[in-house]
Amino acid sequence: MKPARTVSCLISAALILAAGGCGTDASNGGEGAANTSADTDRVEPAEEAPVDETVAGIRSFTGAFGELLAERGAGETENTVFSPLSLGYAFAMLRAGADGVTADQLDEVFGFPQGVHAAYNALSTGVVNTGEAADQTGPDATREPDEQPPDPVVSIANGLFVQDGIEPGEDFLNTLARQYGAGAEYVDFSTGSAAEKINDWVSDRTNERIDTLFDELDPRTVTVLANAVYLKAGWESPFDESRTTDEPFHLADGTTTEVPMMNKEAAELSYVDGDSWEAVQLPYVGGELAMWVVVPAGEPGQAPTVTAGMLEEFDHGEPTELDIALPRWDYGADAELLPLLAELGLRDLDDLGGIAEEVVVDDAVHRANITVDESGTEAAAVTGIAGVVSAPLPADKTIRADQPFSYAITHEPTGAPLFVGSVADPG
């Protein structure tokens, strides 16, 4: 047990989520998450798949992408949330059709190792839990103290939408079907029907938390790659709603705002600290999903960026008695990916001969949202590589979340981050 100490600082939440059970079909989900739209011959994950190397790449990308958002000021005045895992899946599918400099840049930015497609297949099997999510799990839920909670739900779905009349490369199609469970669904991008079908796919696989992937699609679009990640999980030990009170949250600019603050006293939880931050783990039902809440160790200010090194440190937490105060939050964020990824080194997205001749990436978007309250967490994210087109375009401790904070949702056994973000103003 660590010696007694008191820490009063903002929670820079790092949500670390791991599946409470293992599903075998990563395109299945829980409530509202359905199978992919096309039948596929998905293979069993290879035992030698480089999962550790792939997760290391996701973690490295998480830190680089989060730091880029912070540099742009998004984390100081705006809440952020993104799913590194969803981004990884979408661009790994693109990698299946990439050659030359495009393939090299994808490998560099996302840390894709040799055998990456088998690794993402194996990650799906480990992370996914397709159990039914009952009403007492997740936000706004109620559960009696002696009532057995349901298992968490984590679903991952991959989609491939192709212009009718276009035949993508056979190796590309086989890789997406066998490793990602994404069979080609043929649509007509020259009309609004394709966008409607893709949006229906997104809504079905995110429990209707996200209903739109692309605001509009270029009629010259020939292929869309899509990924959706959905999570719903109840706390292993829920917060007592009667102890939630309105308390001040200290914003980065020095002002305060009143927010509903959830409180828990004298709980033994895993704790770890770094040079300028400290973090506590809040487990979800089943023990494989957890939220790591990260707070700055100094004065209130901008939420700490969740880095690859920080994610690794979470593996070494120690049991510690502490009090914790955490605000509720409920928000979403969108990102136009191409400008951001270009700053990270992914600039040439036109060597995609494995998909079809003379195609380039025209657009890429990411949408995510998250809800956290006394009962648990519900979150969803979608990534679309849109318009691949034929022409270029009393404890011992008290931790208080009363200032801007960050979070990262990952699969605990592998360390793969599912969702990452920051809360500048939970109100």
Q: Check whether 8 has a pLDDT greater than 80.
A: no
Residue predicted with more confidence, 74 or 209 = 209
Domains and CATH numbers, the chain: 26-133+149-234+334-393 (3.30.497.10)
pTM, to two decimals? 0.84
Q: What is the pLDDT of residues 178-195, one digit of tens each?
A: 999 999 999 999 887 899
Q: Which is nearest to 357 in space by CA: 172, 161, 109, 182?
A: 172
What residues are paired with 333 via a beta bridge? 368
pLDDT of res. 131: 55
> Residue 334: which pLDDT band, with cuts at 50, 70 and 90?
very high
Task: Give pLDDT, residue 323.
Answer: 93
Residue 192: the pLDDT is 78
The pLDDT tens digits for 307-321 are 999 999 999 999 999
**For the segment 124-155, what is each residue's pLDDT rounded down to a tens digit?**
988 887 655 444 444 555 555 556 678 899 99
Q: Which of 36-50, 129-143, 228-242 has the lowest mean pLDDT?
A: 129-143
pLDDT at 158 over 70: yes
